Amino acid sequence: MGNPLIIAAVALDRHLHIPMYLFLMNLSMKDLGSISIIVPKSMANSLLNTRSISYSECVAQVFLFIFFMVVDFGFLTIMAYDRYVTICKPLHYESLRNKKACIEMAASAWISGIFCSALHTGNTFALIFFGGNMVDQFFCEIAQLLKLTCSDSYLNEVGVITFFACSTISCFVIIIVSYVQIFTKVLRILSERGRHKAVFTCLPHLIVVSLFDCTETFAYMKTPSIRLSGLDLVCSIPWCHQS
C-alpha cells in the first residue's frame, strides 16, 4: 500500500512536483512492478505445493526482472546526482534540474531497462538447454539458467553479463564520487543540525545502493559452475524486495 500512496501523493500534490519526489514516484512504480513478477508466483507455488513454472512464464519473468533491475539502478544513480546538485551546486539547481532534464533522465532509465532486458533475455533463451529443467532459485534467474546450457553457447551470455556488470560498477563509481563530493561539502557546513540533516538524508540511499550493487555483482560475476545455492538465494532477496 505504501507505493500506491506515494504515487498518488506526488501525482496529486503540485508542491511535490520537484525532481526528488518525481524520481521517488518512479521508484515506487518500479517497486510495484518488480515485486509483482516474482512474489505472487512464489506464493502461488507455495500454496499449491508445487515448484513449477512454464517456459513462457520463465521468459517473461527473466525479461521483467532484468528490466526493473536496470531501471532501479538507473534511478538510484539519477537520485545520487540530484542530491549532489542540490547540496553542492544549489545556485545551478534550476538550470541543471529543470522539468525537461528530469523527464529526459527518467525516460533514459526506462528505455535503458527495455534495451538491456531485451538483449539479456534474447541472448539467454537463444542458447541450447540440455542440463535438465530445474534451477536452484525461487525464480527464473539468468545465472542459474546458464548452468543448464553447454559451455560454448554459455560464453556468449557471459560476455553480455560482464559488459553490464562493468556498466553497473561504472554507475556505482559515479554514485560514490557524487557522495564523496556531498560529504566533503557537508563537512564544511557550520551548523551541526544542517550536517545531520544532510547526512541522514543521503545515508539511506547510499546503503540501498551498496546492498543492491554488491549482491548483484557477486551473483553475476561469480562463475556459474560454483554451487552456492543458499548464498545465491540470500543475494537475490534484496533485489526482489527493494520496496
Is 66 within 8 Å of 160 (Cβ atoms)?
Answer: no
Is 38 within 8 Å of 85 (Cβ atoms)?
Answer: no
pLDDT tens readout for residues 74-119: 888 888 888 888 778 777 777 767 778 888 888 998 998 898 888 8
Q: Which CATH superfamily is domain 36-240 in?
A: Rhodopsin 7-helix transmembrane proteins (1.20.1070.10)
Residue-range domain boundaries for the chain: 36-240
- Report the predicted TM-score, pTM, of the whole model to 2 decimal places: 0.76
CB under 8 A, 24+ apart: contacts of 237-241: 238/211, 238/212, 239/34, 239/65, 239/69, 239/212, 239/215, 240/34, 240/35, 240/38, 240/39, 240/139, 241/35
Q: Which residues of 214-233 are buried (b: 16+ CB within 10 A; e: fewer)?
A: ebbbebbeeebeeeeeeebe
Count the Cβ atoms, other than its own, within 10 Å of residue 108.
Answer: 12
- pLDDT at residue number 243: 43
Q: What is the mean pLDDT of each run of 10 residues along the chain (243 residues)?
A: 87 83 85 82 81 82 87 86 81 73 88 87 77 70 73 63 75 83 76 70 69 60 50 53 48
Count the Cβ atoms, other than its own, within 10 Å of residue 46.
Answer: 11
